Amino acid sequence: MKVKKKKEVEEVCLLEPVKDPFGLVIFGASGDLTRQKLIPALYNLYHNRLLPDNFFIVGAARSRFTDNGYRDVLKETLKGKDLWDEFSRHVFYTQIEYSDASSFVSLQRRIKTLERRFATEGNRLFYLAVPPQITAQIVEMLGAGGMNKVRGWKRIVVEKPFGWDLASARDLNGVLHRYFTEDEIFRIDHYLGKETVQDILLFRFANSIFEPIWNRNFIDHVQITAAETVGVGKRAGYYDKAGVIRDMFQNHIFQLMSLIAMEPPAVFDPARIREEKVKVFRSVRQITRAEIPEYIVFGQYIQGEVDGTVVPGYRDEEGVRKDSHTPTFAAMKIHVDNWRWQGVPFYLRSGKRLKRRVTEVSIHFKPVPHSIFRHQLSEEIAPNVLVFRIQPDEAIELSFQTKMPGTRLCFREVNMNFSYRQQGFYLPEAYERVLMDCLRGDHLIFVGQEGVEKAWEFFTPVLEFLDKGKKLIFHIHDYRAGTWGPLEAEEFIRRDGRYWWVN
């Protein structure tokens, strides 16, 4: 059997350049996402010669800017970048009212002019970097204005959260399908664009030693933590309505969970992978409203210290309601009811203003069935843990026991560690990968219609429970910014005889 050498692999695996010329229309162009993530990612792709010669980007939003005014705003984020002037000649801006059909007529005119000027062969990518409440409206306007009728290919990218709940996600899918086929729709979950997240699949299905033990016979439980040190920043208008469940659990955390839990598909193909993930979502045991206090702990941060700086509590953040009950933290336990995972709980946790920024999945194996050292050791032997560190310090680690040198029998837990950065790998920003794949029409890292709806279905009782409003006050626990969340979350896992791995 031929196995490729390291150098050969590196050459083959470099990001493939986008070949087709294109026009990219970004709705929500004056927002943070466009400024902080999309434009820097596009710039990096340009800088690394991954974009074709013929392309243009037109930003559309409510704010008023001239093309040059808009470029100046973007330049702030890309200070000192050597190719900025060259890149910015591809960037334009059109002011738009999302509810006004005549705005879309002007936009269409602008796009047509740019298409001629840049010879983009009519290929259009629409990127909706807007709050979910106006996504459907924009799609309707695009359709009504005939902007989806193009000479080349057309694609549409929808940011998360996709819809606001199950009903709105279904409606949105309905509207999208009126004007775009499923193949033309790209539902983004930028976590899937992270190299370390994609590596979970390769790790599981390209190594023969782990798959046989990847089940209830060997695994005690799984933990997923996505901890952030940042607060809501300038996004209170969105976040105070969304909360941590819509913002992190329904999408990022559930996607991570499905990659860990899914069965191997017969072939490595986007549609087959989506199918397997959907099967996982179907198997997640529904938590009823009555069971929520038993399975989920919610928290909201109060004033505290993060990285040596005193930061305000959530309710004192600009734009947050003073009596807000929006959770900024949640810890929950779920069960995946199938043969592989029966009896193996998944503990999921995410929050803002926590002690440290870290996203990690840890697989906790069962303890040894019988300790031959029980007469010599006072403590239990710590079970093996396999960790996928998604960020920062991207790594895969396996902990195991070794003997401390010396005459006494003492154990020491050590790690086998694979660190992406120490190996010198360039890890592209998730948005670089996401944009590349939309432009190349590759669906691997995007979420399908059924997947998104199933995830909403699971969270519907939770969201209804949260939307009950004021009565919730007893269920949302305060936690000091800069800690690991409310003490109740510690107690929650300790009740099961376990503890949070990341702390």
Residue with tokens 């990001």: 15
User: Of the candidates 199, 220, 240, 247, which one interacts with ligand BG6 according to CB under 6 A?
Assistant: 247
- Whether 221 sits among the annotated catalytic residues: the reply is no
Angle subtended by helix axes 39-47 and 67-77, to nearest 10: 80
Task: Tell me the closest approach of the beta carbon of residue 108 to ligand BG6, in angstroms.
Answer: 30
Residue type, 417: N
Closest CA relative to residue 139, chosen from 127, 153, 150: 127
Q: Which helix (H) or strand (E) holds 124?
A: strand 124-128
- The two structure tokens encoding residue 9: 């692999």
Q: How many CA atoms lie within 13 A of 168 on its CB side?
A: 15
Task: Tell me the closest approach of the beta carbon of residue 380 to ligand BG6, in angstroms.
Answer: 34
Give the active site residue among 90, 190, 221, 252.
252
Instruction: Tell whether residue 394 is a contact of ligand BG6 (CB under 6 A).
Output: no
- Contact status, residue 144 vs residue 101, Cβ threshold 8 Å: yes
DSSP state of 252: I
Task: Tell me the closest approach of the beta carbon of residue 192 to ligand BG6, in angstroms.
Answer: 11
Closer to ligand BG6 by Cβ: residue 21 or 161: 161
Task: Tell me the closest approach of the beta carbon of residue 387 to ligand BG6, in angstroms.
Answer: 17
Closer to ligand BG6 by Cβ: residue 189 or 220: 189
Degrees to nearest 5, angle at CA 166 with 161 and 168: 70
Residues 134-163 that bind ligand BG6 (CB under 6 A): 160
Q: Which helix (H) or strand (E) holds 449?
A: helix 449-466
For residues 199 to 228, the per-residue mask of contacts with ligand BG6, x marking binding by CB under 6 A and - elsewhere, is -----------------------------x
Closer to ligand BG6 by Cβ: residue 124 or 190: 190
For residues 358 to 377, the per-residue mask of contacts with ligand BG6, x marking binding by CB under 6 A and - elsewhere, is -x------------------
Closer to ligand BG6 by Cβ: residue 131 or 312: 131
Closer to ligand BG6 by Cβ: residue 45 or 142: 45
Closest residue to ligand BG6 using C-beta atoms: 247
- Contact status, residue 194 vs residue 201, Cβ threshold 8 Å: no
Give the separation between CA 435 and CA 288, rounded to whole angstroms.
38
Task: Tell me the closest approach of the beta carbon of residue 335 to ligand BG6, in angstroms.
Answer: 26
Q: Count interface residues toward ligand BG6 (CB under 6 A).
A: 4
Closest CA relative to residue 390, chosen from 254, 232, 193: 193
For residues 439 to 458, the per-residue mask of contacts with ligand BG6, x marking binding by CB under 6 A and - elsewhere, is --------------------
Q: Is 340 helix (H, G, I), strand (E, B) or coil?
A: coil
Q: Which residues are catalytic?
A: 252
- Interface with ligand BG6 by CB under 6 A: which residues? 160, 228, 247, 359
